[in-house]
Amino acid sequence: MNTANKLTILRVFLVPAVMVFIYIESEYWSLICAALLFLIAAVTDVLDGIIARRKNLVTNFGKLMDPLADKMLVLSAMIWLV
């Protein structure tokens, strides 16, 4: 398991955390926490790409999970907005 894949797994686990904070919308701080977690997940996506390209770490797991984690994160936020 390389660093890029670990960041992808972290992003997958951040999706439910973001959604939990979004659904506590009665508190202002929860929306700020959700935005910060979303930002952290976005940064891990960038770091994942940089690390994978620089170290030439292309795995089958990464080919599948990286786009899936991105879509899970963005779609969960978009569904909440709708």
Enumerate the domain spans of the chain.
Answer: 3-81
CATH 3.40.50.300 fits domain 3-81: no
pLDDT attached to residue 76: 92
Full pLDDT tens readout for the chain, 82 residues: 899 999 999 999 999 999 999 888 778 899 899 999 999 999 999 999 999 999 998 899 999 999 999 999 999 989 988 8
What is the predicted pLDDT for the residue at 75?
Answer: 95
pTM of the model: 0.88
Token digits for 76?
């969960």
| DSSP assigned state of 27 | S
